[in-house]
Amino acid sequence: MARKLDWENAFKDANKVSLAIRTSLAGYIAKGIALCGKQLVEDARTAFDLGFTFTQGNMDATVFLYLIKAIALFNASRHKEAMIRVDQLSADPSADPLACGVVVASLRVQLGTSALNGARHTEAIEHLTAAVKASTFLAKSAAPAACEAFTVLFGWDIEALWETSNRQLILALLGAGRLGEAFESYRFAMNASDEATKTSLHSWILSESYQ
């Protein structure tokens, strides 16, 4: 229901079905996401905070819930707050760097794409450069299994995240008239990527050149 943006039914499912049967981490995550979708951010914070009582000192579970909370806040248009939370967590050596990288890159791509669509090229380049940096580990590796939850909850295409970050950065650089940097960005992406991504990027850049 949340992925359909049907927040009312998502909330009912979480509150009256999941949590009414048995309180759980998954139930509070679902409730927090639904409340953020309904723009009831303070209530959502309470739901997520209750969820932390189920992590029982498990660092991976705590980091995962913290990231989910940040994403939900981002989706409720609390972009600045969400990015501060994620950036701070990414700097913590005890946090999972791969999960943090996926979240940083995914949110930065959204911000960068929004800026690009608004012709705010400098802003777009800043966000998309950060997205490329955060997702470089995906250039030749599959997404970590733990990150599948982000696809389930939010519909993210993590397998395409590295390529998407690079494509959008190249478009932003071209839009800003920074042709040399756009070429260097393309060359970097090609050198860093696996063969399948290289083929896809090459085909894409050829199609762009003919438009």
In a domain, 86, yes or no: no
3-class secondary structure, 25: helix
User: What pLDDT, on a 0 to 100 scale, did the predictor assign at position 2?
Assistant: 85
127 and 167 in a common domain: yes
- Mean pLDDT score, 189-202: 95
pLDDT exceeds 70 at position 210: no
Instruction: Give how far Cα 89 sits from Cα of 64, 97, 105, Å.
Output: 11, 9, 14
Place of tokens 């997520």: 48
Same domain, 202 and 110: yes
Q: What confidence tens digit (pLDDT) does each residue in 175-195 have?
A: 999 999 999 999 999 999 999
pLDDT tens digits, residue range 48-60? 999 998 888 888 8
Residue length of the chain: 211
Name the token pair of 178.
């920074």
Query: Residue 118, SS3?
Result: coil
User: What does the pLDDT read at residue 89?
Assistant: 93
Residues 6+ apart with CB under 8 A from 79: 107, 111
Question: How far is 132 from 111, CA to CA, in rounded Å?
Answer: 13
pLDDT for residue 4 is more than 80: yes
Residues 142 and 39 both lie in one domain:
no
Neighbours of 136 (CB within 10 A): 18
User: 129-152: per-residue pLDDT in tens?
Assistant: 999 999 999 998 888 888 888 998
| 131 shares a domain with 31 | no
